[in-house]
Amino acid sequence: MRVLTFLKFLALAVLAVAALAVGRTVILLPARAPVALQMPNISPDEVARIGGNLSKAIQFQTVSYSLEAKPDEAAFVGFRDFLAVTYPKVHAAVEREIVSDYSLMYRWPAARPSDKKPIALLAHMDVVPVPKYGLKDWTHPPFDGVIDENGILWGRGAMDDKAILISLMEAAERLISKGFTPDRDIYFMFGHDEELGGDKGAKVMAGMLQKRGVQLAWAVDEGSAMVKGAVPGVQSPLALISLGEKGSVSLKFSAEDEGGHSSAPKAFTAASLAARAGYLVTDTPYPLVLDENLEALLTAVAPEMDFTKRVAIANLWATRPLLRDQLAKSPTMAAFMHTTTAFTMMKAGIKTNILPQYGEAIVNYRIHPRDSVARVKARAAEIVGDPRVTITQLGGREATSMSSVDGEGYRLIAKAVAQTFGPMPTAPTLTVQGTDGRHYGVVSDDVYRFMPFVFKLEDLKRIHGTNEAISVEAVAAQVTFFENLIRSAGE
Ligand SMILES: [Zn+2]
C-alpha cells in the first residue's frame, strides 16, 4: 500500500514536471515562422556608383606586410587623397587628423550642445598580402577591383575591411547631402595597421581620445555579422552582435637532457617530456560554460525549432548540462564556451638513434573573457607539474571585457538591422579573432563588433584567402545600414 502511494506520488510528480516544462515552452518560446531577409531598395545607378567607389578603393594596395616593413607610402597617401576627393561633403563638415602617418581620425562635431557622449565607428584601411603562389588561383586579380557581370566585386579588402570603410563614408556623405547634422560627436577611426595588431593606428588613436578626456558611449568595429543557415533547423537570418573578443597566447613547453645513444635510454627523453606536457594541457580542456550570451542566442533561434528542441531550451534549469555537451560537439560552438587549447608545433631530435638533447611543444590558447594570460600560464604549470619542463610565454593578448547587451549601442545596432534588412532574431556573441576594437576599451565600456552583411560559411576561407569578393548590392545595403545607425544615434 505504501509502495503504491509512493508510486502514485512519483507519477504525479513526473506529470507535474512535464506539465511545467511544456508550459514554460509554450509561454516562453512559442513557435514562430521563419522570416526572410529583406534587401533595402536602392536604385541600380546608386548601387553601381557605390560599387565603383569600392572598386577604386581596392586598387590602392594598402598592404600590411610585417611590423618591420615600411608601409607603401604612395598607396596609403593615395587612398587618403582618394577619400578626400570622393567624399567632399564629409571632408568639409568633418575634422580630419592624420595619425602615425597614415591612420585617419575623423570627428563629425555635434551641431548643437548636447550631453550625449560621442560614438565611434571603426574600420581599417590595410589589407593582408596576397601570396605570390596564390595569385594564379584568383578568378580576377586581387587589386584590379573587377566587378563581374553578376555584380560581384573581386579583390583583397572587398570584405575585410574596405567595404565597411567605404560604406561609412558613403553613409556620411549621403546624410550630409540630406541636411543631417548629428546631435553628438561622431568619430570615424580608420586604422592603417589592423592586420599587424593596430599598435600604431587604433591604439594611438584611442590613446589620443583618452588624453583629451573623451569617453565614448559606444563604438562598433568589424567582427561578427548576420548569418543564414548556420544553425540547423533555423531558416531566418540571424544578426549576431559581438560583445567582446577572445585573447590569445602561446606557451612553449621545453625540456633539456644530456642525450646519448638510443640503445640504452632512460624512461624519458627531452622529446617525450615536451610532448607529454603538450598532451597533458590539451587533454585537460577548460570547462565548457553555457553562459547567458549563449543562452540568449539559443532563445533567439529556438522559436523556429521543433517542439522537442524548444522544450529543451525553455527548460535549461534541467537540460543545461546535456545541451552544453551537445553544442560543444561542434568545435565552432565549443570555442564560444571556453578557452581553447591547440597543440600546434613540436620540435625535437635529429636522428632516429640519438637521444634528443632538446625538445619543445607549443600550444596556442584562445582566451575566453573569463580567463587571463596569467591564469592560463598558472593552470598549465599546475597541470604539467614537472620541474624538468620549462614553460615560456610567447606573445600574449588579453581578452577584452564584455560589452553590455542592454547598452544603447546594442539596441541601436539591432534597430538599424531591422530597419535595413527587416525583422530578424538578434543575439549576442563573442569574436574569436582580433580586431582594432579591443584598443578602444580605454575610452569605451561598450565596443561592439558587427558587420551589416550576410556571412556565409564559404566567406570564411575568402577572408585573408583567395578570391575575396562581395556583391555590390550588399555593399549598397551596408551604406543604408550605417545611414540608419548614424541617424538614430545622432538625432
Ligand atoms: Zn579586418
Q: Where are the domains of the chain?
A: 44-242+402-489, 245-397
For residue 288, the CA-to-ligand 1 centroid distance in Å is 28
Judging by DSSP bridges, how do beta strands 247-256 and 358-367 pair with one another? antiparallel
**Could you give the CA distance from residue 395 to residue 252 in angstroms, rounded to a whole number?**
11
Judging by DSSP bridges, how do beta strands 469-471 and 152-154 pair with one another? antiparallel
For residue 364, the CA-to-ligand 1 centroid distance in Å is 21
pLDDT for the residue 1: 58
For residue 341, the CA-to-ligand 1 centroid distance in Å is 24
For residue 92, the CA-to-ligand 1 centroid distance in Å is 28
Q: How would you classify residue 40: left for phi > 0, otherwise alpha for psi between -120 and 50, otherwise beta? A: beta
For residue 194, the CA-to-ligand 1 centroid distance in Å is 7
**Could you give the CA distance from residue 253 to residue 251 in angstroms, rounded to a whole number?**
6
pLDDT per residue as tens digits for the range 82-125: 999 999 999 999 999 999 999 999 999 999 888 999 999 999 99
**Could you give the CA distance from residue 491 to residue 482 in angstroms, rounded to a whole number?**
14
- Cβ–Cβ < 8 Å for 122, 186: no
Inter-CA distances, 136 with 132, 133, 143, 160, 413, Å: 8, 7, 13, 21, 39
SS3 of the chain: helix, strand, coil, percent, to 5: 40, 20, 35
Class of domain 245-397 (CATH, top level): alpha beta
193 is catalytic: no
CATH code, residues 44-242+402-489: 3.40.630.10
Give the residue among 277, 280, 399, 379 at the shortest CA–CA distance from 335: 399
pLDDT for the residue 490: 93
For residue 125, the CA-to-ligand 1 centroid distance in Å is 9
- Cβ–Cβ < 8 Å for 322, 312: yes
What are 197's three cell numbers? 595588431
Catalytic residue among 126, 170, 436, 459: 126
Q: What contacts 24+ positions apart, CB below 8 Å, involve 140-147?
A: 142/468, 143/58, 143/59, 143/61, 144/58, 144/59, 145/54, 145/55, 145/56, 145/57, 145/58, 145/59, 146/55, 147/51, 147/52, 147/55, 147/472
Looking at residue 132, its amino acid is K
- 360: β partners: 254, 347
Give the residue among 240, 174, 65, 175 at the shortest CA–CA distance from 490: 175
199 is catalytic: no
Catalytic residue among 170, 194, 446, 483: 194
For residue 201, the CA-to-ligand 1 centroid distance in Å is 13
Residues (pLDDT < 70) of the chain are 1, 457
3-state DSSP assignment of residue 489: helix
pLDDT for the residue 457: 67
For residue 166, the CA-to-ligand 1 centroid distance in Å is 14
Helices (H), 287-352: 292-301, 307-314, 316-327, 331-337
